[in-house]
Amino acid sequence: MTEERVREAYARIWAPFLDENAVWGGSGPGDPVRGPADPPAEIDVLTSQIAEFRRRKEAAVDAQEYTRAALIRDEEKEVVRRRSELIREWAATVDPVDLAEAVVSLRAEVAALRRI
């Protein structure tokens, strides 16, 4: 890691915060630009699937349909396993400085939102 790479990462992450004319997101509303520390979109899809499996599993338990809940649980476990695998693959490719800068940036955004 060089000082130059740290400065480049810092400038890339903070540029939109410092430029009042910066255009946020991608080509339209709800289409964010993915940065170097962002996980692949497939991980987001799997995360959504896990949430849906959990919702369906809870509904099955509430309806006392335990066999169906068990089948849903098994499907959920497979998606959780695949997501974990993808996260590990992605993590091996991420520059730690980019990731650290993204975490710092997100923490600052969360703090600002809490003050609103």
How remote is the C-alpha of 66 from its chain's centroid?
32
Q: Is the pTM of this model over 0.85?
A: no
- Specify the 3-state DSSP secondary structure of 63: coil
The answer to whether the beta carbons of residues 8 and 2 sit under 8 Å apart is no
109-116: list long-range contacts, CB under 8 Å, 24+ apart: none
Q: What is the token pair recorded at 6?
A: 């740290």
What is the Cα–Cα distance from 31 to 26, expressed in whole angstroms?
5
The answer to whether the beta carbons of residues 72 and 55 sit under 8 Å apart is no
pLDDT band at 49 (very low <50, low <70, confident <90, very high): very high
**Total count of residues recorded for the chain:** 116
Mean pLDDT (whole number) for 99-109: 87
- Listed in sequence order, the residues at least 6 apart from 46 whose beta carbon sits closer than 8 Å to its beta carbon are 79, 82, 83, 86
Beta strands (DSSP E) in the chain are none
pLDDT tens digit string along 65-86?
999 999 999 999 999 999 999 9
